[in-house]
Amino acid sequence: MLSAGAKLFTDIPLTVVGMLIFVGFFVVALVWTFHIRNSKFYQKLAEMPFKEGKE
């Protein structure tokens, strides 16, 4: 089963480029998620549902 699927991926450079794009996107998503620069902004957004009824 695995060898039958591996026969479909004959263009190795294209497969490597696709894998690099996937890994690069994943790393960027992790950095975007865990960056601390806008922590005040996200804290303000997290408190919005609690402040909505008080205004």
Query: How far apart are the C-alpha atoms of 19 and 47, rounded to whole Å?
Result: 39
pLDDT (0 to 100) of residue 44? 84
CA nearest to 15, candidates 7, 1, 29: 7
The C-alpha R_g of the chain, in whole angstroms, comes to 21
- Render pLDDT for 4-25 as a digit per residue (tens, 0 to 9): 777 777 788 888 999 999 999 9
Question: Which residue has better confidence, 52 or 41?
Answer: 41
8 A C-beta contact, residue 34 and residue 27: no
- Render pLDDT for 22-37 as a digit per residue (tens, 0 to 9): 999 999 998 888 776 7
Burial call 21-36: b when 16+ CB within 10 Å, e when fewer: eeeeeeeeeeeeeeee
Written as six digits, the tokens of 5 are 């699927």
pLDDT (0 to 100) of residue 46? 83
Annotated domain spans of the chain: 11-54
pLDDT (0 to 100) of residue 52? 63
